[in-house]
C-alpha cells in the first residue's frame, strides 16, 4: 500500500512550526521519526491532509538538567537517550526502561516525543512518565501548557494534545537521594512491545517506605498507577510479606482489558503479580542514599 496524497511542509524554525500548526490545525500531523506514522499511512490507517516534518528542528533535540527536572526535547532520538550518561544518572528508571524499547535501527530514528504522542498502550515510556510523575510541555500558536503525565494519556493512541498543538518537551523529576527504582517487563522477544510491564520507585527512610509509585503498561488502553498497591507500602516497613501483599493487590485490583494473542486477563494478572513483586524487590535493594 501507498499513503493517500498529502501536502508536505518542513518548517525550518520553531516559529515556522507554530505558524504551520496554527494554519492547518486538525488537518495536520507531525512527522518525527516516522516509525509508527509511516506504516500507519501506508496502511491508510492515518490519512493526514498535511504532513509537517519536524526533522532538523534542533530546538527540539536536547537533554539537559533544569534544576530538579530532567528536560528532554521531543525530537530527541531514542538511541541518544538510551546512551545518555545524564539520563542514566538523573533518571535510572527511564534508562532501564529504554533497554526494552524497540531495536537499534528503530531507536536510531524514533523519538521520545513521537513515542509518547503515539500513546501505544504497550509502550514502556508512557508508564515510566506516569510512575515518575513527569509533565508534558505542549506548545501552540496560543501559548504553552504543561500537562501531568497522568492526564496526558487518554486511551489507546489518544492523548491530551489538541489540534494545532505539539509536544515540545518532556520533564521528569530527577531521582532524589534514597529513591530506588526498577522496570520489569515480559515481551515475546527483546525489543518487542511489552506483553505486560511494571515500573516502580520507592523512597525508603530508616527501613520505612515513605513514597511508593507503581505503574503498569500493556494491561489496559492506557498506562496507569496502581494506587491501592502503593498505599499498602507507604508508611510501612518494607519486608517480603509487605511486597507480596502489594503484588497481590496489583494483580487482584487491576482489571486487564488489553487482551490479545499475547495473553488473556488471567495471564496478565499473573504477570502483574510477578512483575510487581520483582520490581519492588529490586527498587528496595537499590534505594541507597
Ligand atoms: C518494529 C517496531 C518495534 C517497536 N517496538 C517498540 C517497543 O518495544 N516499545 C516502544 O515504546 N516503542 C516501540 N516501537 C515504536 C517506536 O518507539 C517509535 O519510535 C514510536 O512509537 C514513534 O516515534 P516516532 O518518532 O517514530 O514518531 P512518528 O512515527 O513520526 O509519529 C508517531 C505519532 O506521533 C505524532 N507525533 C510525533 N511527534 C510529535 C510531537 N512532537 N508532537 C505531537 N505529535 C507528534 C505523529 O503525528 C504520529 O501521530 C516500535 C516500532 C517498530 C516499527
pLDDT bin (cut points 50, 70, 90) of residue 263 is confident
Q: Which atom of ligand 1 is nearest to the CA of 77?
A: 25
- In this chain, the answer to whether the domains covering 7-53 and 179-284 adopt an identical fold is no
Under DSSP, is residue 53 helix (H, G, I), strand (E, B) or coil?
Answer: strand
pLDDT at position 260 is 82
72 lines ligand 1 (CB under 6 A): no
DSSP string covering 9-24: E--SSHHHHHHHHHHH
Q: Which atom of ligand 1 is nearest to the CA of 187?
A: 8
35, 47, 93 from 41: Cα distances, Å? 11, 6, 33
pLDDT at position 259 is 86
Q: What is the average pLDDT across 228-248?
A: 96
Other CB atoms within a 10 A radius of the CB of residue 39 amount to 13
**Which of 3, 20, 21, 30 is the pocket-test mutation for ligand 1 (most atoms within 8 Å of CB)?**
30
The architecture that CATH gives domain 7-53 is: 2-Layer Sandwich (3.30)
Angstrom distance (rounded) from CA 95 to CA 89:
9
What residue ranges do the domains of the chain occupy?
Answer: 7-53, 58-172, 179-284
30 lines ligand 1 (CB under 6 A): yes
pLDDT bin (cut points 50, 70, 90) of residue 261 is confident
CATH topology (fold) of 58-172: 3.30.465
CATH topology (fold) of 179-284: Enolase-like; domain 1 (3.30.390)
CA dihedral 4, 165, 65, 124 (to 10 degrees): -50
79 pLDDT exceeds 70? yes
Q: Could you report the per-residue pLDDT of 179-222, keeping only the tens digit for each?
A: 999 999 999 998 999 999 999 999 999 889 999 999 999 999 99
Amino acid at each position: 500500500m501507498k499513503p493517500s496524497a498529502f501536502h508536505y511542509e518542513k518548517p525550518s524554525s520553531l516559529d515556522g512550526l507554530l505558524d504551520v500548526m496554527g494554519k492547518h490545525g486538525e488537518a495536520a500531523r507531525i512527522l518525527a521519526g516516522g516509525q509508527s506514522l509511516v506504516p500507519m499511512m501506508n496502511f491508510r490507517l492515518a490519512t493526514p491532509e498535511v504532513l509537517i516534518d519536524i526533522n532538523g528542528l534542533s530546538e527540539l533535540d536536547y537533554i539537559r538538567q533544569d534544576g530538579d527536572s530532567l528536560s528532554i526535547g521531543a525530537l530527541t532520538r531514542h538511541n541518544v537517550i538510551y546512551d545518555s550518561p545524564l539520563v542514566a544518572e538523573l533518571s535510572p528508571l527511564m534508562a532501564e526502561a529504554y533497554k526494552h524499547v524497540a531495536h537499534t535501527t528503530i531507536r536510531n530514528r524514533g523519538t521520545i516525543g513521537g513515542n509518547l504522542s503515539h500513546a501505544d498502550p504497550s509502550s514502556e515510556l508512557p508508564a515510566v512518565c506516569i510512575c515518575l510523575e513527569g509533565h508534558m510541555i505542549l506548545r501552540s500558536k496560543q501559548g504553552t501548557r504543561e500537562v501531568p503525565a497522568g492526564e496526558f494519556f487518554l486511551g489507546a493512541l489518544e492523548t491530551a494534545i489538541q489540534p494545532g498543538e505539539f509536544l515540545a518537551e518532556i520533564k521528569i523529576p530527577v531521582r532524589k537521594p534514597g529513591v530506588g527504582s526498577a522496570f520489569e517487563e515480559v515481551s515475546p522477544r527483546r525489543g518487542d512491545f511489552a506483553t505486560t510491564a511494571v515500573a516502580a520507585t520507592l523512597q525508603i527512610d530508616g527501613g520505612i517506605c515513605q513514597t511508593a509509585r507503581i505503574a503498569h503498561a500493556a494491561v489496559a488502553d492506557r498506562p496507569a498507577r496502581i494506587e491501592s498497591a502503593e498505599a499498602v507500602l507507604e508508611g510501612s516497613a518494607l519486608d517480603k510479606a509487605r511486597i507480596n501483599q502489594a503484588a497481590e493487590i496489583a494483580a487482584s485490583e487491576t482489571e486487564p482489558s488489553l487482551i490479545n494473542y499475547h495473553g488473556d486477563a488471567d495471564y496478565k494478572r499473573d504477570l502483574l503479580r510477578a512483575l510487581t513483586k520483582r520490581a519492588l524487590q529490586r527498587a528496595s535493594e537499590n534505594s541507597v542514599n
